[in-house]
Amino acid sequence: MKSTLNIVANPLDKLPNILKKNLDKNLCVCNEVLKMDIINAIANGATTLEEVKKKTYATGGNGCCTRQVERLIECICLDKPK
Ligand code: FES
C-alpha cells in the first residue's frame, strides 16, 4: 500500500458536502451501482479505478461515471484539504 493513502473509518468525513448527496442513488447508472457502495468499496481498499470497477462494476458501462468515481477516490484516499 502506498504511503500517501490514508483510509479512514468513516469515508464520508473525507468528502466535501456536495459529494455527500444522493448516497442511496445510483452513481453508475449504466450498471446500477449505488454511490454509497462505491464509497464503501474505496474505503475498503479499492483505491484505483480498476479496483473499484472490479469490486462494484461501476464505470463498466460506457465509462460515463469515470470522472465521478475518480473524484471520490481522490477525496477518500488522498490527504487533501476539502
Ligand atoms: S454511469 Fe457508470 S459507466 Fe455509465
Residue written as grid cell 465521478: 68
Whose alpha carbon is nearest atom 2 of ligand 1? 28
Given a cut of 50, is residue 81 above it in pLDDT?
Answer: no
Residue written as grid cell 468528502: 15
Q: What is the pTM of this model?
A: 0.85
Tens-digit pLDDT profile for residues 1-23: 454 555 557 999 999 999 999 99
CB 23 within 8 A of CB 35: yes
Residue at 2 is within a domain: no
The domain of 69 spans 11-77
Average pLDDT of the segment spanning 19-45: 97
Residue at 43 is within a domain: yes
Residue at 65 is within a domain: yes
Per-residue pLDDT band at 72 (split at 50, 70, 90): very high
Residue 78 has what pLDDT? 81
Whose alpha carbon is nearest atom 1 of ligand 1? 28
CA-CA distances (angstroms) from residue 20 to 4, 5, 50, 51, 72? 23, 21, 23, 22, 10
Residue 8 has what pLDDT? 57
Substitution site in 25, 28, 57 for ligand 1 pocket (most atoms within 8 Å of beta carbon)? 28
Residue at 53 is within a domain: yes
